[in-house]
Structure 1
């Protein structure tokens, strides 16, 4: 009998006798024997990971609590894009802390993702309404990267040049991210005063970016400036504050083509920088080039409306190096929270919150002015910038009083209020500036305070008048609405999600709990360093642990998605070569099987993509690789390679491949998507890579959140350490890739807890069990579906690909039919038709038990029988359980049932489904219809449903 006394035994799905049974089923008597044959001996590390001993769940939580307790959480009035906010308790408990929401995967299978798709459509509607533009995406990574994406979007038209004007009154971190992104693309950033810049006089001008209100708090009228931008055939871009837009004229009404920003202050904690949902909205003419994900509406097979991903979703897999963005993820969980915040408060509630912030700011401005303090702007929403003789002295005095203000420069201090600000805070702030007043006096001053901006800039247009934003303002109704949406989604709390390359593993509750701690959730990313000692210690420990695991000299946690990690890694390589004066190395070799973001990221980093062939076994064709090396030797910058391969195999030639690249003077970039097959057994550094990004939302247990958040840090060899991403808050300032110095800092506590509780031996065993589980599935299914690629002795790595193409030829049943039919069995489909069309790539991870693996295999074996019934003519070729899948309850219970198969066969094909049945919310969605009749906001959904 196994004693469950440690976290390892809770995390691993197969332990004890189950583990032995699975090993016996594939012909091995121990895990070590299996690993010795599955993993090439030449890449094995041969030594255990040097990590702290595993801690129990209570001990790890206590350790992290002691570390994070070193943070000093003062009230911050720093602003600069980050603000205090009240997270409604009903949203915190039922969204942020609910595995039904945070363990779901990206909604590529729409029929079992209707809940989060509806919430994201609400988010898009929120953004389009407040921005006054036509279309919004389902979120981006943060405000800085959204601005950089807007620059790239503007460049995709037919600009006459590559000069991008950026107002010097934009947030500093946004300016730095834009500069980083612009350089490899050959874009010249012109930084200056928008009031004196003349677009028509600037040769090569193609777009302009301004902040609204600006970083110093000023509310300005950009309509005249944007008219000049249009006269010069440029694109007008606004980085806007979402809460301010409830009171201010929307950017779309004064000429903006694109609006970007952050939805953080809509009920999402600051979290020392993230994660938060950035946003982008644009005019209708730009919608088909809009980066990221777009939620649309279509019809299902029964003619009912249903939500789905639309248009360019996953465009990288189609366009690759021609893609306009490498962004393939979003911040879904945070966008859902922001949308629910808007649903809960409604338009009137949001305006009330914004008005209270504005009135308090006006009251503070009045008191300070009366006390002789000089303000730099008379037009403001929530931010005041005041002139002082010594900014450092004022900042220090504020800290002594228990608050943080913003140092703008040596003679200026910024004050930003938010919905958490109370009149007592304002009195304390005034006292810091030598002005004595009472809270009561401030209340009186705020009661009749009028907007300080010109009347022409006040919002007159309505927003959020759709039914969903006017129905759920009591906690009871809000609770039920969120529960209804949750019940439409399949997440890890329902069943295994076996997506190859996506690593949907246990996100343990103990790993998630620290996110709600005050010292984790409520720290501003730009507080003085001595207030974030706990965060810095935790992050440094995590960096050191990841360096040990990867075999690298240094790690940066700044990239806030896998795509950002790819970009940051390639950017480090580029900056390394430029530092040596080697400007000609710009060729990036990429296998044709690579993830689609790889070539897109290479182009963003200023590289030229050259494809490398794969052989019949799915491995890199070494002879073709060497031919490409010889062809581009003098200009070779990098090879991008995934290991184990994209096809789920440990390639024996990987060391030879790395050596060939190094011999030619190039660097090896390793995509860390499949790191779950490496930890403790080998490492990118041991294999020969120079840089590798890690998906903490895959290998290291950060949950996918329905399509985000993610974290994509990079580890690098010693020569690349000086070229890790910098930030104004760090010692190095070059190469900033996202807004905050440590990106989505707060969720790094999840991976910290995972490593602390597993320890080195536990992490190694997790890798071993992941490989065992994949081989167990491959062995069980091999009699029914060909296993497309295998390595030594017919073994796979941590995932396997089953080939449905022979069955499709025989029966007409497609891989999509199988994917949809799996929903009737209560499962999300494995990765469909990637990296090979007509296949399913299955990754079980180490967290699934033998019982769950067997249920999944039994489901696919049952589906095989259904396919064979079609092939033999026993089932109708067109009207069968596969072609009609999935079967929602509405269809099965309908009086109209004309199919030649029974309702029981449709809904309960296996006996265990009678114990618990997950029902798809809709029938099969018609994607083509949705793209031809694009509907991307929820106001149209209601009208759509009436037709």
Structure 2
């Protein structure tokens, strides 16, 4: 290794700081702490933790050279395959100022809206863009990809419709990956998929919904109006997948009566990246707004009456609704949604229309030259050519010219044009067909008359200067990891190193089509195979699938594997899933989606699973027991010592053990779930393995399984090497373009560094618990009063004695320059704190000092010095405007805005919230989820 070891850059506390941490918590070394905290029955030693297969750690420059060599093995051909993935020209101002900017990529989900106004405004722009282009009234803040958006559209139609029929009608000319995801999602829910050529009309019989897309997989622009009218006459609701670029020229389905629109925003500046991450979308009319899954940004007002943004209808979140949730989606693709929204903002409606005309014009040139070989008379970007017996030779001829076309079958070739298509590319395609350009014949699809993207957000930022300043203005309204520790329990906001991020924008990774020929993506396949091997070693499982593109998708994939395993053995009746009351809310929602019945297992007062209640529930459901889902360490932040007994009890009853990997960052190098009883786990690469949160996505949630579950790992209809019957995500390897981040992290840390990171995170959490214990009760601890990688402090006694709520403390932390810990999860009225290994002792101490100072402020409320309704906590957060004008509060302005003291006197640098406390109830009562005219709030 050359230069400073990466572990010294990644792990916050240096040797001296670590000594101080260990001294306070009462451990002589990290290994001593491991023996104190981790149950001896599962604790791995450094010599026997399975990580001996990992190569030695290397430096940042060495890993970039290694990744460059691997990426260099890929061939970046001109992609004209289509099928929902298109080359796009990302404006450099957006690459540099969003994708490569830690102010955007290290931000967390905007659950603290007062310090998230920038990303919330950007997401409102995204929702407005989607609503305008689809002709719908409400869009959510993005889905995971197009195919899962289609599956969510299917279940939304079932919830919203009146029909009791289990049948769902799907057009035969749907993207094959979308059809596969829909079929997988329908199976455990008892939905019967009927596939038909909808150009021939609707088949006989009843059905609750109809799903089609325009343009179709082979490029046909369908008559949505006729389809929608016919379905509505039959009592069915309709979802239409709409290509947003095409919608700039074509009358959108929302204007024709569609109930739902779905699709992807990938071609709006988001690189193909071998399949992802990309922001899908879902849009509805207002009457179905409260049926939308996922996140929805809305407009509300703050304590001063000013316009403010927030996540609306948050009670739909799975942590609250659990098995009654209508979807298990708890994340989005925020970073990619913001990129797509800013692409639309930079180009504006006229610019997008001009791009669409160029794309369509190239398709018209190809179609005109091919003449009667063209199958569809109406098309936008994709031309289907009928060449009997010659399709393979045409595709091969194009490949020799550096162009990838889609081989549909032996008689048909599909050619998809996109923003990057040039006249030269068109000429190469025509050469492959042995054709020559002729006079262009219009396809006659340009019929949109309605305006779109008229809001100032899409008309002010045409120059790079204007866009650069707009993005900076938005980022300045937010707190991300580039400004502060984000001590979120359960969410692991660790460093996303620049060296890890660098490769994702390289063209040799970013411009790969997920269905490109295998010999063109050998470098990516090597990265994927190597990463799978490393994750197998780290988790102790036998096989890994990287397809799930979020933790929720990983949960679903793992539970489906268990469900299908039982079915393969004739145990169709095994449908009961045991879930501790402390579990992540998505667990219950995922189990229901997988066709399981949730039975809740009680927890003891110390937070551990009540093993007596577990045994009783197993006995009561023995014949039907499918699985238990258990988070380890527990959601309460404790290593439960009875984990082996829990796993054994379920196995003895014929069930499977799902170990939720949300807290795997407390296990890496220390214990392996695949060795201490797990049959399957999902892993959050966006938490444990350094893929950034990006404001609430992208995420990656691969699953590891024991060998007996391997046959039930996700497959894909367009990836022969993945033969499984279940398809979870649109792309074979999910969000493949961000896997180099995790590859780089593991490669630079090595076995010793990974273990050190885990134990440093545990040490830092115990340090915080030790410092705060005399000021706030620490709710749950394990043996020896130890916590794992996070600790929960209980504010309920203080709320009872002072009236100060957990919300008050969270908002007051913004005045101190900190993002709040996780609020009221897993226990209402508490804060769950996780420092991660990335934070040095100065930052940890600064956070502890802020919490101790807040406790002193609460004492002033308890003593009556400040009133319950007028104190700095209830008034928080405070903006710069609080320094001017009238001040009618019973506490000092200086205390309000500079609780740390002035920066010039050594206080912490001030981060100014841009709005005061936001009125959430007002936002839910007055649901506005797209860019409103300012007059509406006069």
Offset from partner CA, 1:473-501 (integer Å, 9 cap, x none): 01111111111001001000001000000
Q: Distance in 2 between matches of 1:536 and 1:944?
A: 52
User: In the alignment, is residue 119 of structure 1 matched against residue 122 of structure 2?
Assistant: yes
Residue 392 of structure 1: how far off its partner (Å): 2.0
Residue 895 of structure 1: how far off its partner (Å): 1.2
The aligned counterpart of 2:543 is: 554
Is this contact kept in 2: 1:271–1:522, CA < 8 A?
Answer: yes
| Range 45-54 or range 95-104, more displaced | 45-54
Offset from partner CA, 1:828-851 (integer Å, 9 cap, x none): 100001101110000000000000
Is this contact kept in 1: 2:231–2:237, CA < 8 A?
Answer: yes
The aligned counterpart of 1:756 is: 747
Q: Distance in 2 between matches of 1:340 and 1:222?
A: 29
The aligned counterpart of 2:929 is: 936
Residue 578 of structure 1: how far off its partner (Å): 1.3
Aligned residue pairs: how many? 926
| Range 232-241 or range 644-653, more displaced | 232-241
Is this contact kept in 1: 2:501–2:741, CA < 8 A?
Answer: yes
Residue 876 of structure 1: how far off its partner (Å): 2.0
> 1:11-160, aligned counterparts within 5 Å?
11-46=10-45, 47-48=48-49, 49-50=51-52, 51-157=54-160, 158-160=162-164
| Range 874-883 or range 830-839, more displaced | 874-883
> 1:647-658, aligned counterparts within 5 Å?
647-658=636-647
466, 479, 495: which one aligns with 1:490: 479
RMSD of the TM alignment (CA)?
Answer: 1.2
TM-score (norm 1): 0.97
Q: Distance in 2 between matches of 1:483 and 1:220?
A: 42
Is this contact kept in 2: 1:143–1:278, CA < 8 A?
Answer: yes
Q: Distance in 2 between matches of 1:52 and 1:912?
A: 49
The aligned counterpart of 2:174 is: 170
What SS is found at the alignment partner of 1:784? coil
Q: Distance in 1 between matches of 2:672 and 2:724?
A: 29
User: In the alignment, is residue 801 of structure 1 matched against residue 815 of structure 2?
Assistant: no
Residue 315 of structure 1: how far off its partner (Å): 2.2
The aligned counterpart of 1:383 is: 382
Is this contact kept in 2: 1:35–1:768, CA < 8 A?
Answer: yes
Residue 607 of structure 1: how far off its partner (Å): 0.5
Q: Distance in 2 between matches of 1:33 and 1:762?
A: 17
User: In the alignment, is residue 876 of structure 1 matched against residue 901 of structure 2?
Assistant: no
The aligned counterpart of 1:826 is: 817
Is this contact kept in 1: 2:347–2:462, CA < 8 A?
Answer: yes
- Structure 1 residues 62 and 313, CA gap change in structure 2 (3 angstroms): farther
Is this contact kept in 1: 2:240–2:262, CA < 8 A?
Answer: yes
TM-score (norm 2): 0.98
The aligned counterpart of 2:691 is: 702
Q: Distance in 2 between matches of 1:318 and 1:802?
A: 20
- Structure 1 residues 68 and 309, CA gap change in structure 2 (3 angstroms): same
Structure 2 stretches of 5 or more lacking a match? none
Offset from partner CA, 1:869-917 (integer Å, 9 cap, x none): 10011112211100000001122x2211111211111111113754521
Is this contact kept in 1: 2:225–2:253, CA < 8 A?
Answer: no
Is this contact kept in 1: 2:265–2:281, CA < 8 A?
Answer: yes
Q: Distance in 2 between matches of 1:669 and 1:567?
A: 11
Residue 451 of structure 1: how far off its partner (Å): 4.3
Q: Distance in 1 between matches of 2:33 and 2:215?
A: 61
813, 835, 858: which one aligns with 1:867: 858
What SS is found at the alignment partner of 2:578? strand
The aligned counterpart of 1:898 is: 888
What SS is found at the alignment partner of 1:702? coil
Q: Distance in 2 between matches of 1:160 and 1:944?
A: 40
| Range 926-935 or range 898-907, more displaced | 898-907
Residue 197 of structure 1: how far off its partner (Å): 4.2
User: In the alignment, is residue 501 of structure 1 matched against residue 490 of structure 2?
Assistant: yes
Offset from partner CA, 1:377-416 (integer Å, 9 cap, x none): 1111100010122322222211111110001112111000
Residue 312 of structure 1: how far off its partner (Å): 4.4
The aligned counterpart of 1:256 is: 258
Structure 1 stretches of 5 or more lacking a match? none
Residue 697 of structure 1: how far off its partner (Å): 0.3
Offset from partner CA, 1:236-286 (integer Å, 9 cap, x none): 110110100000001111120000000000000000000000000011111
> 1:92-491, aligned counterparts within 5 Å?
92-157=95-160, 158-198=162-202, 201-203=204-206, 205-312=207-314, 314-369=316-371, 374-388=373-387, 389-437=389-437, 445=439, 450-453=442-445, 458-491=447-480
What SS is found at the alignment partner of 1:609? strand
What SS is found at the alignment partner of 1:742? coil
Is this contact kept in 2: 1:4–1:10, CA < 8 A?
Answer: no
Residue 223 of structure 1: how far off its partner (Å): 1.3
Is this contact kept in 2: 1:125–1:939, CA < 8 A?
Answer: no
